[in-house]
A = this chain, B = another copy of it.
Amino acid sequence: MELYIIRHGIAQAKDSAIKDEERTLTKEGQDKTKAVAKRLYDLGLRFDIILTSPLVRSLQTAEIFSFLQPKGELQVSTDLAPNGDIHSWLNWLEEQQYSPTTKLAIIGHEPNLGQWASMLIWGEVREEALIFKKAGIIGLNLPEMRSPIGQSQMFLLTPPKFLLI
C-alpha cells in the first residue's frame, strides 16, 4: 500500500498563553496547505483514509485535505500526537487489513514523522537525514505480508515549494 506522511501546515508560534495542542494554523498556513492539497488532487492523488493527530493544527490540516478528498475517511489517532509510538500505530495498521491498493495519509508532527519515515525505510532513526517542511509530504510503498520497518521504499519527499505554482 501507499503511505503518504504529511506534516501539518504553519501554525501559531509557541506561546505560554496558548496550550500547545490548541495552536491553530495561521492564514499563511491555511493558504499554503490548501494549495498543496489542491495540487495533489489535480495530480490525481486520491486518499482512501486520512488519519490525523488530535492536535488542532493537525486536525485543521486534515480537514483541508479531507475537503478536497471527499472519499478520504477522516480518523483521529493519538499515535500521531507528538511522541506517539510507531509500534502502536503499526499494530493498528495491521489490524485494519487494508488492501494492497489502499492509499493512506497520516498527518502529524515533527520530529516524529520524519523519524517514522526513517524507521520504515532504513530500520533506524537518523536525525536530520530528511528535511520535512510544514505542509510537506513523504510517499512510501509499504510491503505486503511483512513488517514495513526497514522494508519500505520512498518514492516522494517534497516541501510545499515544489508543489505550488
Contacts and interface: CB of A to CB of B under 8 A. Distances in A.
A153 B159 CA distance: 13
Q: Is the interface of A mostly helix, strand, loop or mixed?
A: mixed
Interface in A112-165: 121-122, 126, 128-131, 133, 141, 153-159, 161-163
Nearest 10 A/B pairs, CB to CB: A131-B155, A157-B157, A121-B129, A131-B153, A130-B154, A158-B158, A156-B158, A128-B153, A122-B122, A154-B157
A131 B141 contact: yes
B157 A155 contact: yes
Contacts of A158: 156-158, 162
Contacts of A133: 155
A126 B122 contact: yes
- By size class, the interface of chain A is 20 to 34
A133 B163 CA distance: 18
A157 to B, nearest CB: 4
Interface in A61-114: none
Nearest to A128: B153
A33 to B, nearest CB: 17
